A = this chain, B = another copy of it.
Amino acid sequence: MAKKDEQNFVMHIAKREDDFPQWYTDVILKTDMVDYSDVKGCMVIKPYGYGVWELIQSEMDKRFKETGHVNAYFPLFIPESLLMKEAEHVEGFAPEVAWVTHGGSEKLTERLAIRPTSETIIGSMYSKWIQSYRDLPVLMNQWCNVVRWEKSTRPFLRTSEFLWQEGHTAHETFDEAQEETMRMLGVYREFAENVLAIPVITGRKSEKEKFAGAQETYTMEAMMQDGKALQMGTSHNMGTNFAKSYDIQYLSKEGKLEYCFTTSWGTSTRMIGGLIMVHGDDRGLVLPPRVAPIQVAILPIAQHKPGVLEKADELLQTLKAAGVRAKVDSSDQTAGWKFNQWEMKGVPIRIEVGPKDIEKNQVVAVRRDDLEKQFIPMEEVSARIPAMLDEVHDGLFNKALKLREEKTTDATTFEQLCDGVQHGFVRAMWCGETGCELAIKEKSGGATTRCAPFEQKELSDVCVHCGKPAKTMTYFAKAY
């Protein structure tokens, strides 16, 4: 009976190898991570999905504060004239801005953009707040919603409104700004690896792919199970571009008026899409333990038998005391249904406890990543389960790393590149020219430069496509 339930249940999720996009949609909808709304391109983040975001926020925010940043909140609206001050920036963002034209029944004298990102409004405030070198550095972050009017959307990956954090800092020198840019990229990388269990490639974006208005953009890129790359976070050194457009100046120690060097860096709810596509399997979600709203599901077996529910509750208290986010499922569904339900929801560990286990003073623990059963003596639960959660984390990370390595190839011919990007990352030497980049994209069926990684290797001395002298080894891939 459990077997039949299981089949019916899992049947509703498409298989990854048959139809990866459908698998993704099935997983996010059936696990109550997200839902579509009546507003085109906007998602509703349901409590289970929002629970993941709350944990992401909490882990990231701790890291931002440890590196000296404070949070603030800037307006949702940006007057059109303010947005227009940085030419490259506006060129990049204007096509996807949502415009407010009326307040109540009155037409506004100036249109207001809904922030697609906040460099402009924050820059205008920094201009007011920063007077002297004593005011520097300014190290702020903001958690908020932003809007980018997208034609083609997918929950978490690309939506017209999304939630994110955006850090904005101002410094005396280019070097300090560069140090900050790299520090925050490092924080992102450490977070991706140690919290989301996702290995990432970090490096520098091409001229074409960099942030509109930045001097340099750095990125972290991850490989999904379908062979496409996902940009998971970016960190920008703006040089003095925004300082000049928004008049962010300071009086130096030497009494000279100088432009600040600014940075910005951001990550978003897109990361949730990433962790689903990296770790999920045909049974559904597989949540990395450190952002799993429920880390352990306790299933009482034959729960009508005396003592079973009491023991389940005792386990719950033990786990809570050990700092584990646990939940007892004492609903009146069958055991088979519950197994599938919590597997589909990606809970890292399932614990079963029934009359026989109570007799033997043990529980059965099943890891979501390898589905293997382990028998754990009751008195070892509070030590073993936290350790097992770390093991699940490590297991997921290593599996994702192995996947990425299998999906990464080196190319010294353009044919090899075109082959390789059909199923993953391709490392190849590249001339760095935008014309060449566009030609590669067209001829390869959509491959883009992801980044020039910090760890360089000289595969040859000429560009894989045009044959001109190569500047960097670059990662290419099709991307979300």
Contacts and interface: CB of A to CB of B under 8 A. Distances in A.
Given A100-B99, A104-B97, A124-B38, A50 B73 contact: yes
B42 A71 contact: no
Contacts of A78: 39
A277 to B, nearest CB: 21
Interface stretch (A8-16, A141-149, A335-343, A456-464): A141-149
A90 interface: no
Interface string A55-80: 00000000000000011111111110
Contacts of A129: 35
Given A79-B38, A147-B76, A98 B100 contact: yes
A46 B42 CA distance: 29
Most buried by B among A38, A111, A121, A160: A38
Q: How many copies does the complex hold?
A: 2
A100 B114 contact: yes
Contacts of A112: 39, 98
Contacts of A104: 94-97, 149
A96 B100 CA distance: 13
Interface in A380-394: none
A47 interface: yes
A362 to B, nearest CB: 32
B121 A82 contact: no
Contacts of A35: 125, 128-129
B147 A37 contact: no
Interface string A96-110: 111111111100000
A111 B82 CA distance: 24
A379 interface: no
Given A50-B72, A125-B37, A42 B77 contact: yes
Given A38-B79, A39-B121, A44 B74 contact: yes
A118 to B, nearest CB: 11
A226 interface: no
A51 interface: yes
Given A39-B79, A94-B104, A45 B70 contact: no
A37 B44 CA distance: 30
A82 B40 CA distance: 13
Nearest to A76: B161
A333 B42 CA distance: 51
B74 A47 contact: no
A161 B45 contact: no
A174 to B, nearest CB: 25
A326 interface: no
Contacts of A243: none
Interface in A114-146: 114, 121, 124-125, 128-129, 140, 144-145
Contacts of A163: 73
Contacts of A76: 42, 114, 145, 147, 161
A147 B108 CA distance: 15
Nearest to A331: B134
A419 interface: no
A98 B103 contact: yes
Given A82-B38, A125-B35, A149 B103 contact: yes
A73 to B, nearest CB: 4
A54 interface: yes
A43 interface: yes
A104 B114 CA distance: 11
A47 B75 contact: no
A162 to B, nearest CB: 10
A73 B44 contact: yes
B45 A72 contact: yes
A463 to B, nearest CB: 35
26 contacts: A35-B125, A37-B74, A37-B75, A38-B124, A39-B79, A42-B75, A43-B75, A44-B73, A44-B74, A44-B125, A45-B72, A45-B73, A47-B72, A50-B73, A51-B71, A75-B161, A76-B114, A76-B147, A95-B104, A95-B105, A98-B100, A98-B102, A99-B100, A99-B102, A100-B101, A114-B114
The 9 nearest A-B residue pairs measured at CB: A103-B149, A42-B75, A47-B70, A45-B73, A99-B102, A39-B75, A101-B101, A95-B104, A39-B77
Given A35-B125, A50-B70, A97-B103, 10 more contacts: A35-B128, A39-B75, A39-B79, A44-B73, A46-B72, A50-B71, A51-B70, A76-B161, A114-B114, A144-B145
